[in-house]
Each structure stands twice: as structure tokens, then as C-alpha cells.
Amino acid sequence: MISKSLLSAVASAFLLMGCCTTSHVAWEYKVLRIYDESEHSSLDKELSTLGAEGWTVVSSSWVNNPPMASHLIFVLKKAKK
């Protein structure tokens, strides 16, 4: 069984390696909102198109907050050029 101290040391090493890299990626973000159920049918096509452009979905959520209309929200990101 792996000891907690060994596990902690390995986790710390990975964290430090990530923090010490010299390259920095700047991200561009996009929020996609789907209000109408008729838009749901084209959602896979829209997400595929955005994926082909380099966008990645990082979060999605169903919002049901009356009196606002219920809707889907997708947060996407891609590296800035």
C-alpha cells in the first residue's frame, strides 16, 4: 500500500512541474446558450463545428431559474493564437 507521504510527494512534484513551465497558454472563451428546444436538434452540429475550429467544452449546465427561461449553457475555450 502506498503511504500518504509518498503520495503527497508525488502530487507535489507534479504540481511544481506544472507551475515551473516556461510556456504560458492564453485562452479565449465562448459561452453558448440554448434557449429553445428546437435548437437542441442542431446542438451536435454546432458543437462539432466549434470543435473543428479548436474549441473545447470545459463546462455545461442546465439553468432553471424562474422567471427566466430555462436554458443550457456551454462554456468553451481555445488557445489564443
- 40 or 50, greater pLDDT: 50
Q: Is 68 helix (H, G, I), strand (E, B) or coil?
A: coil
CATH fold, domain 24-79, is: Alpha-Beta Plaits (3.30.70)
Q: Read off the pLDDT of each residue in 21-38 and give the average, rounded to a whole number.
A: 84
Q: In terms of pTM, does the model score above 0.75?
A: no
Q: How confident is the model at residue 1 (pLDDT cuts 50, 70, 90)?
A: very low
C-alpha cell at 35: 434557449
Cβ neighbours of residue 72 closer than 8 Å, sequence gap 6 or more: 33, 34, 40, 43, 60, 61, 62, 63
